[in-house]
């Protein structure tokens, strides 16, 4: 080897040492990946039903907790969320002034903003200007980790405690919550069994609601376990924690809150699913509903017209259940909390957010097409829904104008009963889609059908109100032959011309 110069030998030695180092690095990397697989989590601390503080759970499940903490991030998509530099999300009632007029006589006309992440659910509810009107303790069913308080109020029985809370004011229940140390937004214990980490539902409103839904006549192909329960003639009521499949639970945990409900002080919080989940089935349920004192059910009286109105909350679960994704067995968590890979292990993303911010994990697992193409397709669906929504909003405004003209012409409220009924039907449908947080995406055809009906009912009401005004005009002008129409009729004709324009 003496013919090789010392310099070359030095270089060979250098590369050999580098190779050794790289081999060790690679070994270390493989070791790490193998370990990731073996240690899914470390059981460092015992968690119980009383542990509403997510930080404690985070000691055992740091990966899930890391992504859960991201729920405090600002995120925005074209139609929702909060991503600006301002402290609070944009006012919806200022962006779409028809919303403000829709809610006249109801506290949503005071303050109604875009949503923020789960981390803000309690804080935003405590601070909303709607709190200037008295609010009920029922609201905390969904805005806090409230189960220990329910058990405390019901002496161990959460259902009993829950049934008491509507009688308390929001501030009373909120104070009890913070005093008992459970003043946290939705937390681990709300969806996971602390002993087994199995998914479970805890909220009394949902447990009662889904039980009624299972007993209803409606077809539910999207929920195979309910169909199986019906066929088995089980004498026990349907219990999601016993009967539902794991895949259904990945939607049910979200449906504990992302639904339509009654939430005020007259009676306990209630999910209206006795006839089914469709918009008209829920409407039918509310129309037949009576308050405990025997009075007819409604959410508020419209300040301008005097019509009795049902307010739609945020029926994400109901609208999703009518769409193709539900029908195909795609759960809420599949798109909003998709699996993400962490080294060699698989963790479901606990940063609950719009799938549009996470296209590759949320959509491309099933739809193997370009990210830009997926975004474009979603945008088409949402844009169409947005246009139809604005059109329905305009139809409602025209109806309210017509009612105003009718009232000014001296038509009495009693004579306008049919028009009020149509306003209620139109507004319920418009609100159902406007309040729902997907801009129609959860079930695009169903959303379009509902908005179509809203426009139809609003225009029907408008034409009835206006023809009543014209009839009155004709009677009034019978003696006054010089003027063909009086002022109010001229206003209507001008209005119609505007619509045609």
Partner 1 sequence: MILKYKIELLIIIIVGILLGMLIYLFKYANGASYLSSDPNACINCHIMEPQFDSWQKSSHHSSASCVDCHLPHETIKKWIAKAENGFLHSKAFTLQNFHEPIMIKDKNKNILQKNCIQCHDSMTDDITNNHYPIKNDCLHCHSSVGHSNQIGMGKFTKELK
Which stretches of the chain bind partner 1, using CB under 8 A?
1, 6, 9-10, 12-13, 16-17, 19-20, 23-24, 26-27, 29-31, 33, 37, 224-225, 227-228, 245-248, 250, 328-329, 331, 334, 339-341, 343-346, 360-361, 364-366, 368
Q: Kindly tell me which of 227 and 280 has the beta carbon lying closer to partner 1.
A: 227
Spatial CA neighbour of 431 closest among 202, 93, 119: 93
In sign, the C-alpha dihedral spanning 250, 251, 255, 258 is: positive
Nearest approach, Cβ of 156 to partner 1 (angstroms)? 34
Cα torsion at 128, 92, 442, 66 (round to 10°)? Answer: -50
Nearest approach, Cβ of 303 to partner 1 (angstroms)? 47
| CA geometry: angle 141, 143, 144, nearest 5 deg | 80
Q: Kindly tell me which of 114 and 248 has the beta carbon lying closer to partner 1.
A: 248
Q: Kindly tell me which of 26 and 45 has the beta carbon lying closer to partner 1.
A: 26
Sort 134 into a burial class: Cβ within 10 Å, 0-12 / 13-18 / 19+: exposed
Q: Kindly tell me which of 132 and 360 has the beta carbon lying closer to partner 1.
A: 360
**Pairing relationship of beta strands 81-82 and 300-301 according to DSSP bridges:** unpaired
Nearest approach, Cβ of 408 to partner 1 (angstroms)? 57
Q: Kindly tell me which of 46 and 228 has the beta carbon lying closer to partner 1.
A: 228
Integer-rounded Cα Rg, in Å, for the chain is 29
Q: Kindly tell me which of 22 and 493 has the beta carbon lying closer to partner 1.
A: 22
Nearest approach, Cβ of 242 to partner 1 (angstroms)? 15
Kindly list the distances between the CA atom of residue 465 and the CA atoms of 334, 393, 395, 411, in Å, as whole numbers in the listed order. Answer: 48, 18, 14, 9
Q: Kindly tell me which of 248 and 274 has the beta carbon lying closer to partner 1.
A: 248
d(CA 35, CA 184): 34
Nearest approach, Cβ of 414 to partner 1 (angstroms)? 52
Q: Kindly tell me which of 10 and 156 has the beta carbon lying closer to partner 1.
A: 10
Looking at residue 51, the DSSP 8-state letter turns out to be: -
* C-beta contacts of 480-488 below 8 A and 24+ residues apart: 488/405, 488/408, 488/409
d(CA 190, CA 42): 21
Nearest approach, Cβ of 443 to partner 1 (angstroms)? 17
Residue found by looking up tokens 């270390």 in the block: 28
Beta strands in 66-198 (DSSP E): 75-76, 81-82
Looking at residue 274, the DSSP 8-state letter turns out to be: S
221 C-beta neighbours (distance < 10 Å), count? 9
Nearest approach, Cβ of 336 to partner 1 (angstroms)? 14
Q: Kindly tell me which of 24 and 72 has the beta carbon lying closer to partner 1.
A: 24
CB 117 within 8 A of CB 73: yes
Nearest approach, Cβ of 29 to partner 1 (angstroms)? 6
CB 436 within 8 A of CB 321: no
CB 353 within 8 A of CB 115: no
Tokens of 293: 């004192």
Q: Kindly tell me which of 19 and 471 has the beta carbon lying closer to partner 1.
A: 19
Spatial CA neighbour of 338 closest among 325, 327, 351: 351
Nearest approach, Cβ of 329 to partner 1 (angstroms)? 3
User: Could you tell me how many residues make up the chain?
Assistant: 501
Q: Kindly tell me which of 291 and 339 has the beta carbon lying closer to partner 1.
A: 339
Q: Kindly tell me which of 225 and 488 has the beta carbon lying closer to partner 1.
A: 225
d(CA 238, CA 212): 9
| CA geometry: angle 139, 142, 144, nearest 5 deg | 95
Nearest approach, Cβ of 369 to partner 1 (angstroms)? 9
d(CA 466, CA 417): 14
Nearest approach, Cβ of 23 to partner 1 (angstroms)? 5
Nearest approach, Cβ of 255 to partner 1 (angstroms)? 17
Spatial CA neighbour of 490 closest among 394, 405, 383: 405
Sort 104 into a burial class: Cβ within 10 Å, 0-12 / 13-18 / 19+: middle
Q: Kindly tell me which of 13 and 490 has the beta carbon lying closer to partner 1.
A: 13
d(CA 379, CA 417): 40
Nearest approach, Cβ of 363 to partner 1 (angstroms)? 10
């Amino acid at each position: 080897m003496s013919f090789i110069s010392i310099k070359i030998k030095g270089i060979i030695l250098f590369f050999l040492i580098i190779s050794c180092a790289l081999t060790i690095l690679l070994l270390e990397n493989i070791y790490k990946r193998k370990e990731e697989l073996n240690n899914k989590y470390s059981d460092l601390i015992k968690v119980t039903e009383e542990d509403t503080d997510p930080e404690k759970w985070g000691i055992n499940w740091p990966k899930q907790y890391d992504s859960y903490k991201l729920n405090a991030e600002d995120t925005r998509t074209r139609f929702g969320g909060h991503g600006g530099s301002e402290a609070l999300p944009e006012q919806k009632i200022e962006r779409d002034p028809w919303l403000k007029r829709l809610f006249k006589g109801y506290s949503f006309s005071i303050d109604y903003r875009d949503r923020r992440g789960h981390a803000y659910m309690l804080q935003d509810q405590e601070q909303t200007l709607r709190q200037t009107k008295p609010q009920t303790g029922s609201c905390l069913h969904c805005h806090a980790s409230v189960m220990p308080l329910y058990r405390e109020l019901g002496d161990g029985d959460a259902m009993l405690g829950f049934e008491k809370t509507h009688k308390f004011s929001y501030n009373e229940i909120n104070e009890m919550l913070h005093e008992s140390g459970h003043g946290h937004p939705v937390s681990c214990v709300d969806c996971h069994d602390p002993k087994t980490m199995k998914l479970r539902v805890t909220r009394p409103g949902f447990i009662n609601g889904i039980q009624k839904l299972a007993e209803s006549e409606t077809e539910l192909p999207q929920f195979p376990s309910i169909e199986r329960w019906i066929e088995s003639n089980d004498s026990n009521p349907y219990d999601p924690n016993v009967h539902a499949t794991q895949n259904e639970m990945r939607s049910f945990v979200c449906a504990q809150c992302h639904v339509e409900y009654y939430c005020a002080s007259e009676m306990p919080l209630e999910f209206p699913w006795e006839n089914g989940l469709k918009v008209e089935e829920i409407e039918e349920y509310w129309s037949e509903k009576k308050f405990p004192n025997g009075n007819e059910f409604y959410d508020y009286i419209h300040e301008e017209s005097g019509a009795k109105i049902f307010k739609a909350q945020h029926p994400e679960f109901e609208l999703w259940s009518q769409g193709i994704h539900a029908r195909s067995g795609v759960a809420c968590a599949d798109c909003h909390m998709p699996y993400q890979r962490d080294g060699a292990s698989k963790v479901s993303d606990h940063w609950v957010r719009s799938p549009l911010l996470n296209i590759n994990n949320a959509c491309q697992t099933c739809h193997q097409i370009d990210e830009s193409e997926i975004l474009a397709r979603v945008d088409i669906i949402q844009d169409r829904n947005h246009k139809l929504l604005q059109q329905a909003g305009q139809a409602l405004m025209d109806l309210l104008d017509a009612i105003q003209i009718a009232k000014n012409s001296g038509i009495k409220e009693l004579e306008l009963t049919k028009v009020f009924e149509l306003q209620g039907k139109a507004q319920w449908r418009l609100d159902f889609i406007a309040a729902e947080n997907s801009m129609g995406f959860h079930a695009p055809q169903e959303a379009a059908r509902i908005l179509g009906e809203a426009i139809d009912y609003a225009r029907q009401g408008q034409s009835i109100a206006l023809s009543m005004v014209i009839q009155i005009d004709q009677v009034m002008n019978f003696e006054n032959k010089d003027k063909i129409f009086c002022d109010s009729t001229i206003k209507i004709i001008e209005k119609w011309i505007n619509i045609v324009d």
